[in-house]
Amino acid sequence: MTVAITPYLRKVLLLDAVVSGAAGAMMAAGAGLLGPLLGLPAGLLFWAGLALLTWTALLYALARRESVSRLVLLDVVLVNVAWVLASLGILAFGLVEPNALGVVYVVAQALAVALFAALQAAALRQAREAAV
């Protein structure tokens, strides 16, 4: 089943792409500086940043379409939820030991991604089936 990309859904996807792209560029390019500042492994920041840049391209491509498979949009929501769970999980299970600023950074980006997941889920519920 395909759904039309409504103006609201397009804006949410594009805003997610802009924020993800900015965070990804900052993390990938600045991993060496951010790592010590946040108490997070530079390698984690670098590879997470590259993943975000790839994610940005996908979100931008989806936002430019007139309609998309409902399952693809559901996958976008689920990937965002997985990012939130992974971000909080690495803190909860002690996989990283950031300083206080690093904890704030990880939690803040997880909350931002959770907001995008909620906005995208709401938009998906409201989207009408495309006449395809």
Model pLDDT for residues 44-95, shown as the tens digit of each residue: 999 999 999 999 999 999 999 999 999 999 999 999 999 999 999 999 999 9
Distance CA 2, CA 89 (A): 33
Flag whether pLDDT at 96 surpasses 60: yes
**Rounded to whole angstroms, what are the CA distances from 17 to 44, 53, 69, 98?**
20, 9, 19, 26
Flag whether pLDDT at 100 surpasses 50: yes
Residue 40, phi then psi, degrees to nearest 5 = -115, 150
- The pLDDT of residue 121: 95
Flag whether pLDDT at 129 surpasses 90: no
- The pLDDT of residue 127: 76
Instruction: State the DSSP H helix or E strand holding residue 105, giving kind and residue range, or none if neither.
Output: helix 100-126
Flag whether pLDDT at 8 surpasses 70: yes
Flag whether pLDDT at 113 surpasses 90: yes
